[in-house]
Amino acid sequence: MTRNVCEEILETLIDAGVTQIFGVTGDALNPLVDAIRRDGRLRWIGVRHEETAAYAATAYSQITGKLGVCAGTVGPGAMHLLNGLYNAHKEGASVLAITGQVPRADAGTGFFQEVNLTQVFSEVCVFQQTITSPEQMPRLIQQAIQNALSAPGVARIEIPSDMTALPVPSEAMSHPIFTPEYEVTPCEAGIAKAAEILNAAKKPTIFVGSGCTGARDELLELAKVMKAPIVHALKGHDVMEADNPYWVGLTGMIGTDAGYHAIEQCDTLLMLGTDFPYRAFYPTGVPIVQVDIRGENLGKRAPVAHGLIGHIKPTLKSLIPKLTGSADAGHLESIQKRRQKWDAKMDKKSSLDTHHVPLHPQAVARAISDAADDDAIFVVDVGECTVWAARFLRLRAGQRMIGSFNHGSLGAALPAAIGAQSVDRKRQVIALCGDGGFGMSMQDFVTAARYDWPLTVVVFNNQTLGFVKLEMEATGYPEFGDATDLVNPDFAKYAEICGGVGFSIREPHEVAPAIKSALASDKPCIIDAFVNPGELVMPPTIGPAQVWGFSISKIKEILG
C-alpha cells in the first residue's frame, strides 16, 4: 500500500519506538493529526501552548532516554516551540520537532504566517530540513530521528501544507532506526596520566554532574579508593542518594558549606561529566583532571591539567585499578564534619515544629521530600524554588530530579511535569514551582486534568519574583514592587475549576495532611503554599560586594 508523506512520517516514528506526540494542531498539521486518528497506534497529546509541547517532549526524553516528539503548525505555531526546544538543546535531550510551513508556491512572498523557520531554528537544531518532494521520504525523517538520538539534540522536519497528502513513490531507502549503543573509554596512556596526577594528591575532591547518571557504584568505589568527598553540580543532584557519607553537597551560589569548601580546600580536583559554568567556584592553582564525553567541554570553565574524552562509567572502571589510594583521609573527614553541621542547620530551618506564619519554604520542600515515593520524579522550576529543592530535597536511590538547569527558563516545571507524567501515570511526579513560574504556564494544568494524570504541583506562593528581587537588592537596586510583586489568583480554586484538586496551606499543621492527600489523589493537584516572602537565599559564602550591595539597596529604599 502506498503511503502519503504524513503516513510515512508516522510509520517511521512508530518504528523508532515513539508512542506519542505533544502539540497544537492547525493548518499544515491537520493532515498529520488525521493520519494519527486513522492509524490508532500513536497518541496525539493536545496541549494549550506549543511551548508546553516542547518542554513536555524534553522531559519525556530525559526520563526515558528515548525520542521525544513535539509539533507546531505554520509560523507562530512553530515559533512557540522555540523556548522549550532551547531547553532540550541545552539539557542534551533527544527531541524531534515537526513544524508546518506555507505552500511551496507561496514561499518567499511574505504569505500569511510565513516565517523563515530554518533561520529561526538554526542555533537550536543539530538537524533541520524541509520536505520539498515526496521522493525525500522516508530518508529525511530517518535522518532527523537518528541525528536527534545520536547527538543528542533537537532535530526539526518542516512540512509545507501542500506536501502532506502527496504519495511516497518508493520505500527503497527505508531501514530500521539505529539508536546509539556505545561506550567510549579513553586510551590507556590517557588513563595512566590521569592516575599519575590523582595518585599525587593528598586532598582530592571529586566534582560530578549529570554525565555520571548510571555510574553510581563506580563513583562510590572511586571515592572510597581516593578518600575523597563527592561534590555535585545541580544537574547531578540525583546521581547518588543524599544520605551517602561521601556525597557532601552542592557547590555554587545555591550550594552548601561542605560542597563549597570541599572544592576550595582540595589540592586536586577530578571533574566527571559536568560543565558547571561558574568560574568563581573552581579552585585556583591546583591540577584539574576532567572527563567528559563531549571534547568541547574539556578546559572550557577552568584550566585543566589533563582531559579525557569518554563516558564516565567505563572510564572509571579503567581508572580505579590504577589508583594507589595514597591520599590523606583528613580532608574527607573535615568535609564530612562540615556536612554534618550544615545538615543539622538545614534540619532546624526545615522543621515544622515551630509556629511560623507565613510558612518557611524550606519546611514545605523537606515535607514533600519525606513523603514522596522512592521512585518519585521531582521537576523543579527556576527561581527561589530551585534553592529549596537543591538544599532540602534529600533524594533517595531511584528518585529523579529534572529542570531547566542550563537554559534557566522560568515556567518550565509544569510543562516538564506533564511530559514526565505521560510516561507512567502510576509513578509520582511532583512539580516544585514559584508563583511566578507557575503563572507562566498554568494554562496547561487543565491538560493534566484532561488526560487524567495525577501529578502534584507545589506552588511556593510568596506574591513576588523572589529571586529577581534578591538579585536586585544584592547589586544595590532598591525594591520596585511594580517589577517584582505579583497579584495571584486562588491557585487551589483554580485547580478545582480545571478538574483537579486544590489545597491551600498557611499553617505548619496543614502541611503534612495536604501533601499526603495530594500524593494519594488520582487527580492532578495543586498545593498552594503561602510561604515567607522575606526568606533569604544565602550563598555558602558571602563576599564584601554582596554585603555592600544589599546594604545600599536598603538605604535607597529608606531614603527613596
Q: Which pTM does this prediction carry?
A: 0.93
Handedness of CA 166, 169, 175, 176 (dihedral sign): positive
Dig out the grid coordinates for 539 from the structure: 550563598
**pLDDT by position in tens, the chain (length 560):** 789 999 999 999 999 999 999 999 998 999 999 999 999 999 999 999 999 999 999 999 999 999 999 999 999 999 999 999 999 999 999 999 999 998 888 888 888 888 899 999 999 999 999 999 999 999 999 999 999 999 999 999 999 999 988 999 988 778 888 887 889 999 999 999 999 999 999 999 999 999 999 999 999 999 999 999 999 999 999 999 999 999 999 998 889 999 999 999 999 999 999 999 999 999 999 999 999 999 999 999 999 999 999 999 999 999 999 999 989 899 999 999 999 999 999 998 888 876 688 999 999 999 999 999 999 999 999 999 999 999 999 999 999 999 999 998 999 999 999 999 999 999 999 999 999 999 999 999 999 999 999 999 999 999 887 677 777 777 777 777 787 888 999 999 999 999 999 999 999 999 999 999 999 999 999 999 999 887 766 655 545 444 444 444 443 334 33
3 state SS of 433:
strand
Kindly state the DSSP code that residue 4 receives in the 8-state scheme: B
Residues noted as catalytic: 50, 112-113, 382, 467
The alpha helices in 489-535, defined as continuous H runs, are: 491-497, 508-520
Dig out the grid coordinates for 473 from the structure: 537588592
Dig out the grid coordinates for 98 from the structure: 515537526
| Cβ atoms of 461 and 432 closer than 8 Å | no
* Dist CA 265 CA 257 (whole Å): 12
In this predicted structure, what is the pLDDT of residue 560? 37
DSSP 33-83: HHHHHHH-SSEEEE-SSHHHHHHHHHHHHHHHSS-EEEEE-TTHHHHTTHH
